[in-house]
Amino acid sequence: MQTNQADNTPKVALITGAARRVGAEIARTLHAAGMNIIIHYNASEDEALECCKKLNQERDKSAVALRGDLLLPESEVSLVQQAVGIWQRLDVLVNNASRYYRTKFGKVTEYSWDDLMSCNLKAPFFLSQAAAPHLAASSGCIINITDIRAERPFHDYSVYSISKSGLSMMTKVLAKELAPLVRVNAIAPGPILWPEGENALSDGEKEEIIESTLLLRPGEPQDIAKTALFLATEANYTTGQTLYVDGGRALSGKGG
């Protein structure tokens, strides 16, 4: 069990957007390592409550679900205050919540710009700022979930790519700002889970993406979750870094 050596209480992790997909897998993995988990969600209430229920069945009173619309003013401060109030500590902040959709250049609206920037960059910044004093008290860490698109922009996803590039730079900035007490790192996933809904890809597009990886296969959510666990518990001398978990796609020279 991940505990504080001084008081022997479990470490606490707040994961945004943790009701489903990769966020939920990160929550399950950190929980299995002994941490208490705060599952943040916005619209996915049923999934968040079900995930929370299962974690508490495994270990009683070890998980809580908190709703928060991170696009609302001061929502980040409120979420952190609620999170810290549960177990009176915070050791890990995982900025996972994200929006992803096409913004064709020439037709980008101010709404889509503000929406993507607010969710993918502004919210993680102000969550980190609110959480920093609590993380410093426990020598904790921040983990940002970026994207290989932070370095290799995707056609028709200009604003999304810019927002993730900003999050990548924020990782470096906060590593300096919060040193030496708080470590700040990022994970840049490649093809892990395919987009859903109106962003869904054709079979041909999926195959093209797979062929652009060096390992010639998509990854799994557990690949990201295990990396988050490493950064949270083992990478004690690592800060300001982005780990690419992309099957080598960033090196392949293929795709765009």
As annotated, the active-site residues are 160
Selection from 89, 203, 156, 4 nearest residue 80 by Cα: 89
* 202, burial (CB in 10 Å: exposed 0-12, middle 13-18, buried 19+): exposed
- Angle subtended by helix axes 221-233 and 21-32, to nearest 10: 50
Residue with the two structure tokens 């549960």 = 86
Indicate the SS3 state at residue 102: coil
Q: CA separation (Å) from 252 to 205, 213, 234?
A: 17, 6, 29
